[in-house]
Structures are given as structure tokens and as C-alpha cells.
Structure 1
Amino acid sequence: MQRSGSTTKPVSTAIPASPTRRTPRNSTPGSSKRGGQGIETMMKALRICIAGIALLGSAGAISQGEEGYASGGSELCISCHDFGPESPVHAVMAGSHGTNGDAEAMQDRRGCEDCHGPSANHAGAPTQISPGVSFGPRWSASSAAQDGTCLTCHEENVAAHWGDSLHMLNNVTCVSCHDIHTGGDSVLFESRQAEVCTVCHKAEKTGMHGLDKDTDGGPPCSSCHNSHNHESAKTEMLLNRSEGCRTCHDLVKMAKSDQVSDRARSYHKVMANPERTCIECHGGIAHATTDSVTSFAPQPGNSKEVTLFYPGTTTAEWLVENHPGSQPLRQGAGCQQCHRGEEAAIGQSLAGEFQPASRRVDVSFSRDADSLRVQLRWKGQRNDQALSMMWGKGGDETFRRGGCFAACHDDMSGMPGNRGQQTGKYLWSSREQRQQIGRPAIAKDQAALAKMMEQGKFVVMWHVDLNSGKARTATLLDQVNWRAEPAFRASTRFENGWWQVDLRRSLTHQASHVLPFDPEGQYTFGIAINGADNAGGGHWVSLPLTLRSSGEDSDFKVE
């Protein structure tokens, strides 16, 4: 099929780098563009604290209306959540989800609590009790609870088949794509849909037909795809008569064009049949070919190349609060779901002057009767210092999703959010109270931590000094506890510019602090290399990876 009267504008085909969190530690002071935003964010946070303190001081004055709803309604919510004329609450109140419509339509509306549920208790103690349904990073409700709120109104129309959609099955919630706290929800505007969809659907970043055309100039994603159900593109195209294709390909003009053959003009007459679509003849050409895009799902094998990247000062807090993918991450998705194949680009976006931004490591697994063996090879420098691996077996959910990043936090020594605490790596599950403004993180008592250890809710670390070959292990929960471990051995070698590290872990040794490796288990692991002159930030890490003995849903398998 020929294009008639259309032009293309070449653009870069490189995968856009993931947004950076903070200026890397070796950037020029004052070079960050986030400084003004940081001050504004702090002022907003202070206003919330002041309002929260005022409400706490008068908690008895917060009366409950019907079924736990706040008697003050949205006005009470805005008394805390109003950050000025540009506040998101004003945008949502002015839209279809607010209460500013005609009186008849708004008769039974509650404003904020229509979506956030009965929240009188939250209004009485805003820093201690969550809203009825929370969509934010703190107290994030389950995906079912969040979607259930939206389906209350939308299940009978646009989301009638949401329960069967691939988005729902992959932990993508309504608010992963839709933002009602704005003057205009991007995904509802044809010219801006691709900005939202291509965050995950990376094959479409190159535009229609892979012609590097700016995605803004192509047809909207919804002209062929219905994101709220599991139907194929053909179903949607039957309903709209291949509207997406006809955005560029005008059949009337093509019938008169010298660039279209007589045979093609004859074939195009079939489109007069309402039971036909363009993709019945032109299937598979709308987007880039599948072999040009990194697979969405892992491709298991016993050996493959893994890309490690410079992580900057990325922490678990940023990942679940300010990261563009924080919503699916909070609802159960892992880093690999969106970033598989983007490791080098992420490193480049974070590295600044620190080079190299990424390093490629050949990783292979094997096993014999009593040992798990791991070999890692990479092109490096003689003064590379150490190699580390973290291992978990599902005992800690944040590690399963975020890998090594689950152990790095704002209040750690060397992090920009540290305020003098001598804090090392830890898991959130070990904290009775997470760090908040004006409130330090508080670890659980020893009895609770001991019980978590018994239940296997910890992570194991392997560490190898590259120069001496000395190997040691640690358990990670409320802190890192190093210990000599006879069940773990390592050998190192540097030759012709290449490091080779061979690790061996006994499968028969059992202890309370040892992660058991069994044939049926699936394990999450991460890899890190510490470079020369490492001051805490000169290292490279992997995204979370998986290992199991069999099956097709892991990155590595060992038989």
C-alpha cells in the first residue's frame, strides 16, 4: 500500500533515556535543573505538615458523615491538599470527576471521596491513617481496589471488558495511563496518546511502519487498539473501518495516483466490504518488526550477556514515589517489565562525567550434585575492586520487584537525603516506621526481626574481593551482617584485559542465615561491580534478574 501526500520527518531512533533522579555525585555543583523544583517541593511538604498538625490538634472536630465519609467533603480535603492556584486538586474538581458541573448531574457526587472512598479517619489523622483508597506512593491500595473505584462508574461503558484485558493482567492499573488531576488527561488526546503508550510499548517509539516518523504525526493508538479489552486490533478496525490506516492512506486519492498499480487499485476495492480491514492484506507492517525490539518477556538460558549500568543516587524511595513507572512498580510489576534492554541508556542518562556508563558481563550458571556454580566474565581494569551478588527467594517483595535498589534508601550514608545517620543498606520490611519529613526510620524490635529471619524474609549478599579472591557472605534485613561462610567459595583471574570470577555455592549446607537453593524454587538476584577509586558511587548494577531450574518465565535456568 502506497502513502499518498504524506511526508516523514527523520528523528533519532535511540531509546529515550529514563528520567534521572538527581544530579550524579560528580556533576558540577549547581548544575542541576531540579534545584528550584526541590525548594518548591519542600515548601509544599511543609504546608502539608503544618496543615496536618493543625488537623491533628483538632482531631475531635473532624466529624464523620454517612458511612465514614468526612462531613466537610472536598472542602476539607482541599484545606490540606491545596498548593496554590496550580494545585492538581483544582484541575480535578473542575473536570468531569469534580463537583463543579450542573446541579442535577452533581446531586449525588461527593468530590474527592467519590474516588478515594470514605476518608473521615484520614482527615482526622492525615499523617497516620490512609484515605479509604490511596493512589499515591504512601499507603498505595491494591490494584483491585484502585481499579474497583474507577469501575464503579466506567464498567458499564469504556471498561466493560477490563477484567479480560492484558493491561489488567500485567498489573497496569487505570491510573498507570490516566491522570485525572490535570487539565487534560494526555491519553485522551489523539496527538498525545503515544507519549503515554510508548512508555511501555517501545516498538512504537519509531512511529508507524518503523519509518522514524515523529509519533505525534501518526494516527492515535486507539484508532487500532482498545486498551480496555483483550481483543485484537482487527476487532477495533472493523468498528471504525480501518480509521488508523486511512489517516494517511486515502483510498480515493490512491485510486487516482500513478504510484499505485492497477492490481493494488483492484485489491483496494475490497474495502467496500464492511467485514474487511487493511491488516488482512497488510498485517504485521504497522510497527517495527518484533526481532528489532527487546523481548517483553525473559528468554531463559544458562548463559547470556547482562548489562550493568551506573545507578547514580537512585533509591527505593524515588522508584516508588517519583519515578514515572512508580504506579505499576507499587502494584507488583518489576523493573524489567518496562526497562528490559534499556540498561545502557539508563546508565548514560545518570552517569554525567562518570565513565563508562555501563559494562557488559557474560554470566553463566551450571550445577553438579552438590553445588551451584556461577561464572562471570567482563572486560575491565586491573584495579577493579569487587564483585557482589544479592539473592532472594520471594521472601521480600520489594527485592523481587526492584532487585539491588530495594536495599538503597534516602537516609543511607552518602545519599543526598542523609541527615547524619550512619545508615547502611536495609530492607523496608525491617522498619516499623519509614523515614518521613521530620521522622527518622525506626527498625523493628529484635524479636520481630528474628521471626522474619526464621521465615526467610531476608536477602543474602555474596561479595568477592577481586585482587585477593577473598569471599564472604552476609544477610541483609535491618542491616548488613557479614560472616565467613565455608559453603561459598570464589576464584578470580585477570588476563588480557578480562576478569573472570568463578563462584561455587554448596547446595547441601543448611543454616538459618543461608538461603536454601532447591530445584523447584525461583530466585531473584542482582549483580554489582565496584570499580577503581570507589568512594561509594563508582559502581555498576544490574536490573533484577531471575534464576530457576526449569520453566520459561525466568532470565536464567540451570539444569
Structure 2
Amino acid sequence: MFKTIKKGLLAALMIAGVGTFAPSALAQEEAQEGEDIIYQGDAKCTSCHDEYEVAPVLSIAKTKHGVTKDGRVPSCTTCHGESEAHVNKPEDVQVRPAPDVFFSKKSHLTAEQQSATCMSCHQGGKHMNWNSSTHAARDVSCTSCHQVHTGHDKVRDELEQPQVCYSCHKQQRAELTRPSHHPIPEGKMTCSDCHNVHGDNPKQLLRNSVNETCYSCHMEKRGPFVHNHQPVAEDCGSCHNPHGTTTASLLKSRPPFLCQECHSQSSHPSQAAGLPTASGVLGSTATGTVARGCLNCHTNIHGSNSTQDAITTRRFRY
């Protein structure tokens, strides 16, 4: 049907004398040969896999893979092979053999071999590092996440993409149900806002590091500051769990316990019961910071431009 429409439209334009649509005889012949090769390959499949089939194979016509715009668009046999035994079932076989190439967990091909079919076209851009990515190393194929024979690929839908990722990443699903989390369940962002699933950098992040990925949204935390908090400069994940926690601001635990993982009692003399106390400019007490958070005083925890004189003045003032 699509071939007939295309031929009819081209013929009508040529009859009408529309110059821009009237290719030379040689060009027409080459185009016709290319069309015949593609449609002969597709016709092997569409004679059985039509619009009445339970599995919506023919719906690929609604996708970019099914639109004939130039020679790069594949036919059915480009991806699935000639599959002669599948098309012409041998008489001595009860069950029709599978296509030469098919994509599922039951396939006789490895995940790497299945992905190689896709990579024969999708070689550049964001896919260029796929072969050295974490997903590829763990036997994840392209079709583990993507649906080709449908106009609605869930993993490309921002609202439905997390559900596809959750099918493997169950820990992250649990973390995102905690009280403090990035707004993925609310549909305001999705996994690929932070992760490049085709990339080969650590944790498959969009940027080169955890911090650079976080700074793409949290630019006010970037600095540079006069006084930098070193863990912030090294890795935001030192204090935060980006998927979700039970503590406000995605913190792994609440202050002062989180802070005490790095800061010993030597920074607050006369510490009592494992809790920090007031420092000794005006004298120190054994209960100076009991039941208080470090952020009561250290408000700019990511970095500060305050001078030492200002800090000293504040201490004497109080």
C-alpha cells in the first residue's frame, strides 16, 4: 500500500510537469531498484505479519524505522536476516523455525550479538561508547530497554522511563519512595536527566563526574569559595544519596551524626557523650551543642566566603 501511494504521487507530479520532482531516467531506475530491494525484503514478512496479527509487528510503520526516507532506513531482513527457514517452513518440521536474528531473552544470540545489529546503524553520537559501557558489560542488549515495533517506546517517554529502569534497579526504586527524593515519582525529572545509559563513564552519568552532573542543576553549590568544604569538592555523594533518603535534603543521616563521620571531637573541646560542645573563646560547656545541629552555626556547608575575622567577631558577639 505504501509503495503504491509513493509511486502514484511521484507519477502525478511528473505528469504535472513539476520540475523539482522529475528525476532523470537513471535516477528513477536507481531509486526503483532500491525500492524493490527494500519492499521485497519487507513483503516476505508482511504477507503473514499484517495488521490483524496479535503481536503488533506491523506497527513499526509508525516509527522512524518504518519510514522510507533514504537508503539508511532498514527493511525487516536488515535486522532479522533473510530467515528462509522461517518464511518457508520445511515440511518435516512441525514448529516454524525462528528468524535468523530475533531479540529476546530466549534468543540464541548473545546480548552483544543482538546489540551489534542495532550498532550497525547507531554507531555515533551518544551511542559511540556503548560497547564499553556498564550495561553492555553486564549483558544488557538494546532491546532489553527499547521497543522497536511500536510507536511508543516506553524508555523514551519521560513519565514511563523510570518503570523500565526499575525492572533491574530495584534498590533505586525503593530509595525513590523515601520521604526525601528527587522528583522522579512526580514526573518532574527522569533517570536520563542524570544518567547516560549508553556512556562508559563511572555510574554512567551525563557529565564526567558526580559533581559536574549535580552542578548542572545545583549551580549555586559549584563555587569557588574562599573556604571550600573539601568533601563537597570531591564528591557530593559523600553526604547525599541522590535517589532518596529518610533525612531532609537527601542527606545520608542527620547532623551531627553525619558530620561526626569525618569531624572528631577535637574540633569541639569538652565534648560530652559523643556530642559536640561550644568552642572555647568564651569558655566551653559540656552541653553547648547537645540536641543541636551543626547547621545551626555552619549555615553555608557547601562553601563560604566569610573571612576569619567575621567568624571571630561573631563568636565574641554571642
**What secondary structure does 1:150 align onto?**
helix
- Name 1:287's counterpart in structure 2: 243
Partner of 2:193: 223
Deviation at 1:278, TM superposition (A): 9.0
Equivalences for residues 75-94 of structure 1 within 5 A:
75-84=43-52, 88-94=56-62
Q: Letter of the aligned partner of 2:76 in structure 1?
A: C
Task: Measure how far apart 1:182 and its partner are.
Answer: 1.5
**The one of 109, 115, 124 aligned to 1:141:** 109
Equivalent residue for 1:151, pick from 108, 119, 126: 119
Matches within 5 A, 1:98-497: 98=66, 100-102=67-69, 105=70, 107=71, 109-125=73-89, 127-136=95-104, 139-206=107-174, 208=176, 210-211=178-179, 215-233=185-203, 236-237=206-207, 242=213, 246=217, 267=221, 269-270=223-224, 280-281=235-236, 283=238, 284-288=240-244
Deviation at 1:185, TM superposition (A): 1.0
The alignment partner of 1:237 has SS state of: coil
2: CA distance, partners of 1:228 / 1:97: 20
- The whole-number CA distance in structure 1 between the counterparts of 2:204 and 2:76 is 38
1:163 partner letter:
N
Distance change >3 Å, CA 285–CA 163, structure 1 → 2: same
Describe the shift of the 1:120–1:221 C-alpha distance in structure 2 as closer, same or farther (beyond 3 A): same
- 1:195 corresponds to which letter in structure 2? Q
Larger Cα Rg: Structure 1 or Structure 2?
Answer: 2
User: Which range moved further: 167-176 or 157-166?
Assistant: 157-166
Whole-angstrom distance in 2 between the partners of 1:200 and 1:160: 23
Task: Judging by fraction of residues, say which structure has more helix.
Answer: 2
- SS of 2:195 mapped into structure 1: coil
Q: Is the 8 A contact 2:83 2:99 kept in 1?
A: yes
* 1:151 positional shift: 0.8
Q: Is this contact kept in 1: 2:180–2:244, CA < 8 A?
A: no
Check conservation: 1:192, 1:216, Cα contact below 8 A: no
Q: Between the two structures, name the one with larger relative contact order (CA 8 Å, sep ≥ 6).
A: 1
- The one-letter amino acid of 2:243's match is H
Preserved contact between residue 74 and residue 112 of structure 1 (Cα < 8 Å): yes
Q: CA deviation at 1:218?
A: 4.5
Counting matched residue pairs gives 197
Change (3 A) 1:205 1:92: same
- Give the direction of change, closer, same or farther, for the CA distance of 1:174–1:97 in structure 2 (3 Å limit): same
RMSD: 3.8
SS in 2 for 1:191: coil
Q: Does the Cα contact within 8 Å between 1:186 and 1:196 map onto a contact in 2?
A: yes
Question: AA paired with 1:285?
Answer: N
In the superposition, relative to structure 1, how do residues 168 and 158 fare at CA in structure 2: closer, same or farther (>3 Å)?
same
Partner of 2:265: none
Show CA shifts across 1:174-233 (max 9, x none): 111111111111111222211110111112214659337662434211121111133125
What CA distance in whole angstroms lies between the structure 1 residues aligned with 2:201 and 2:79?
Answer: 28
Q: 1:226 to 1:110 in 2, by over 3 A?
A: closer
CA distance in 2 between partners of 1:171 and 1:191 (Å): 26
**CA distance in 2: counterparts of 1:145 and 1:135, whole angstroms:** 10
Contact 1:117–1:131 (CA under 8 A) maintained in structure 2: yes
DSSP-derived class of the 1:72 partner:
helix
- 8 Å contact 1:207–1:215 — kept in the other structure? no
- Distance (Å, rounded) in 2 between the aligned partners of 1:191 and 1:287: 17
State the one-letter code of the partner of 1:219: M
Shift of 1:156: 2.2
Q: Are residues 89 and 270 of structure 1, via their aligned partners in 2, closer, same or farther at CA, if it must alter by over 3 Å?
A: farther
Is contact 1:193–1:221 with CA below 8 Å preserved after alignment?
A: yes
8 Å contact kept, 2:198–2:204: no
1:120: how far off?
3.0
- Quickly say closer, same or farther: Cα 1:83–1:203, change in 2 above 3 A: same
2:130·2:199 contact (CA, 8 Å) conserved in 1?
yes
Which stretch shifts more, 208-217 or 193-202? 208-217
Any gaps of 5 or more consecutive residues in structure 1? 1-65, 252-264, 272-276, 290-559
Aligned letter for 2:61?
M
Give the Cα separation in 2 of the matches to 1:139 and 1:281. Answer: 41
Deviation at 1:97, TM superposition (A): 1.4
| One-letter identity of the residue aligned with 1:237 | R
SS at match of 2:198: coil
Cα distance change, pair 75–208 in 1 and its aligned pair in 2 (3 A) = same
**For the structure 1 residues 123 and 149, does the alpha-carbon distance in structure 2 shift closer, same or farther, using more than 3 Å as the test?**
same
- The alpha carbon displacement at 1:162 in A equals 1.7
Task: Give the TM-score normalised by the residue count of structure 1.
Answer: 0.31
Aligned equivalents of 1:139, 1:287: Cα separation in 2: 34
> Residue 121 of structure 1 aligns to which amino acid in structure 2?
A
Letter in 2 for 1:123: V
Instruction: Name 1:262's counterpart in structure 2.
Output: none
- Matched-pair contact (CA < 8 Å) for 2:49–2:58: no
Query: Does the aligned pair in 1 maintain the 2:104–2:143 contact within 8 Å?
Result: no
Counterpart-to-counterpart distance in 1, 2:107 and 2:212: 45
Q: Distance in 2 between matches of 1:186 and 1:148?
A: 22
Q: Indicate the structure with greater strand content.
A: 1
Gaps in structure 2 of 5+ consecutive residues: 1-33, 226-231, 246-318
